[in-house]
Structure 1
Amino acid sequence: MNAMTWIVLGSTVAAVIGIAIGVIGPALAMGRAISSSLEAMARQPESERPLMRTLFIGLAMIESLAIYCLVIILIVLFKNPLLTYILP
């Protein structure tokens, strides 16, 4: 195997590990936010509307972290900057 094959293989493995780690944090944060919101709504049902609005805004912000991770991983996979050093 030549150097380009090793770099592509290493980049792919790093991308898989990176997306796995990069999605765990937002997934845990979303679960915790939803759980806390449901507990608050169970205690005070009249505050459902403001809690839901705040929850959806918070979930969108948390989800953006996972999307940023996905974008960086896709850049590494399809436009790998390391390949410019080995290509003739």
Structure 2
Amino acid sequence: MNSVELIGMISIIMAGATVGIGAPVTAIAEGWAVSRGLTALAQQPDAAPVITRSMFIGVAMCESSAIYCFVVSIILIFANPFWNHVVALTGGQ
């Protein structure tokens, strides 16, 4: 196995790990935020617009971390910055 194959294998494994860890953690955080938001709405229905707005902003922030994980995995698979470096080091083998 040459170094280009090794970089490819590690990149695919890390892309899978990035999404495999990032997505469930984000889902748990979003579920927790929505649960707490609904509890707050049940306790204070008069503050519904403020609570709902804050809850949506918090859920969007949680979702952005899942999007970042997805973008990193796509970069590792399709636009890996290490490919050109390794190919230049090995002389194009």
TM-score, normalisation: structure 1: 0.86
Query: Which residue in 1 is equivalent to 2:23?
Result: 23
- Would you say 1:69 and 2:69 are equivalent positions? yes
Q: What amino acid is the match of 2:13? A: V
Unaligned runs of 5+ in 1: none
Query: Which residue in 1 is equivalent to 2:40?
Result: 40
Q: Distance in 2 between matches of 1:86 and 1:64?
A: 31
Deviations 1:26-69, CA, capped at 9 Å, x for gaps: 21111110000111111111111111111111111111111111
Query: Which residue in 1 is equivalent to 2:56?
Result: 56
Q: Distance in 2 between matches of 1:17 and 1:8?
A: 14
Task: Count how many residue pairs are aligned between Structure 1 and Structure 2.
Answer: 88
Contact preservation (8 Å) 2:4, 2:83? yes
Q: Distance in 2 between matches of 1:84 and 1:20?
A: 27
Unaligned runs of 5+ in 2: none
4+ long deviations beyond 6 Å: none
Q: What amino acid is the match of 1:33? A: A
Deviation at 1:2, TM superposition (A): 4.0
Query: Which residue in 1 is equivalent to 2:79?
Result: 79
